[in-house]
Amino acid sequence: MCGRTACTLAADEVSRASQYRTRGGQRRQPKWKDGDSDNYRPSYNKSPQSLSPVLLSQRHFDKNSPVDVCVLAAMRWGLVPSWFKEDDPNKMQYSTNNCRSESLLEKKSYKDPLLKGQRCVILADGFYEWRRQEKDKQPFFIYFPQTQGPGRLKTEDQLELPCKKEPQTCTSEEDNVDLKKEDKEDSEWTGWRLLTIAGLFDCWTLPSGGDPLYTYTVITVKASPNLQGIHDRMPAILDGEEEVRRWLDFGEMKSLDALKLLQSKNTLTFHPVSSLVNNSKNNSPECLQPVDPQAKKKPSASSKMMMGWLKSSTPSKRKEPDTGDLKEERHMGEARPEKQPKNTGPLQQWLQGAAKKPQTK
């Protein structure tokens, strides 16, 4: 735990959905680092070794940048320490996909980046977790409750389609600029509220030189009361702009103080999903589709709201998910996945786009 996430927003939508405030309360929209928007691919089923959108202080890349200015980067899941001496990061003999908050200062792999201020926020629609049952495991999709307001979903009859508006573009020399008051209404994100997960990152290069590899690990804490029935651990969730700002601002908040933000939070909701998600090669909208394994329970209000928004949204601006570079990852021995449904439902139409050709890049 945590071993699987989903992030289905296109690169420009991720930027809009991850607006933040500086120390002075200025609202900003982060830009992508050095073409990383081209490296990022939306996915319904992200596993370790894949690239995820990560928010962090721009000071890590530009020493002249203010610490409280943020940037987006596409980083590989599974931390490779900067001191790793092998010529191939895949030769790591132990897993660094997750790290326990209780032992961050005990293991060199995590202690070094923590004390250097290399804190980041992993962005995702939500994450998957499996509940053990007698003969198999039931997967769940876990995410922020989606309610009306900026950064939340609206009910189906109130919903404005976020993709009908052209993405905001910056014309000044610095793309990461304060959002103008007159543009605030247009620029505020009213789509899916992304999960903001606390993490650490590091930068590794081949001993012989070469391009740097940026990787991250997800910090975990004890599960909140409402999730303990699924699993005993959960990602450390940063709830709200202020917690995100404090976690990323390593100039204002020192490492030991930042650890106090890593608490179990009873703020997430969830719904059961198909066992299709058990195999990371299954990268389709059905992975997120709420199912009823008992065929008796009514869908929760939050999952109803999710489906309402998905049905009402337009996919015209979305990228196709990446299906070519993921390794086959089995989550702790789940059963072989079921066959994917052949019918194209409203969720698939929204996330993929009708009659859209797959990307071959």
Closest by CA position to 97, among listed 193, 239, 2: 2
User: Which H or E run includes 111?
Assistant: helix 108-115
Burial 258-293 (b: 16+ CB within 10 A, else e): bbebbebeeebbbbbbbbbbbbbebbbbbbbbbbee
How far apart are the C-alpha atoms of 84 and 204, rounded to whole Å? 7
State the pLDDT confidence band at 188, using cuts at 50, 70 and 90.
confident
How far apart are the C-alpha atoms of 13 and 314, rounded to whole Å? 13
Q: Which CATH number covers residue 156?
A: 3.90.1680.10
Q: Does some domain include residue 173?
A: yes
pTM over 0.85? The answer is no
Residues 114 and 200 sit within 8 Å (Cβ to Cβ): yes
Residues 143 and 269 sit within 8 Å (Cβ to Cβ): yes
Catalytic residue among 129, 286, 287, 320: 129
Q: Does some domain include residue 58?
A: yes
Instruction: At 244, give phi and psi (nearest 5°).
Output: -60, -45
Q: What residue has token string 């990852």?
A: 329
Q: Does some domain include residue 359?
A: no
Q: Does some domain include residue 357?
A: no
Amino acid at 58: Q
pLDDT attached to residue 337:
38
Beta bridge partner(s), residue 20? 28
Cis peptide before 2 (omega within 30 of 0): yes
State the pLDDT confidence band at 357, using cuts at 50, 70 and 90.
very low
Number of domains in the chain: 1
Q: Which domain holds residue 301?
A: 5-352
Residue 12 pLDDT > 80 = yes
* pLDDT tens-digit map of 98-135: 999 999 999 999 999 999 999 999 999 999 999 988 78
Q: Does some domain include residue 131?
A: yes
To the query of whether residue 7 is one of the catalytic residues in this protein, the response is no
Q: Does some domain include residue 124?
A: yes
Q: What angle do CA 131, 236, 218 make, to 5 degrees?
A: 85
Q: Does some domain include residue 170?
A: yes
How far apart are the C-alpha atoms of 175 and 169, rounded to whole Å? 8
Residue 344 pLDDT > 60 = no
Beta bridge partner(s), residue 27? 21
How far apart are the C-alpha atoms of 18 and 16, rounded to whole Å? 6
* pLDDT tens-digit map of 228-267: 999 999 999 999 999 999 999 999 999 999 999 999 999 9
Cβ neighbours of residue 190 under 8 Å, at least 6 residues apart? 150, 151, 152, 153, 154, 160, 162
pLDDT attached to residue 135:
81
> What tokens does 105 get?
């200062």
* pLDDT tens-digit map of 53-107: 999 999 999 999 999 999 999 999 999 999 998 888 888 888 999 999 999 999 9
Residues 48 and 97 sit within 8 Å (Cβ to Cβ): yes
Q: Does some domain include residue 360?
A: no
To the query of whether residue 129 is one of the catalytic residues in this protein, the response is yes
* pLDDT tens-digit map of 264-286: 999 999 999 999 999 999 999 99
Residue 183 pLDDT > 60 = no
Cβ neighbours of residue 120 under 8 Å, at least 6 residues apart? 54, 55, 56, 75, 199, 200, 201, 216, 248
How far apart are the C-alpha atoms of 257 and 253, rounded to whole Å? 6
Which whole number is the average pLDDT over 346-350? 38
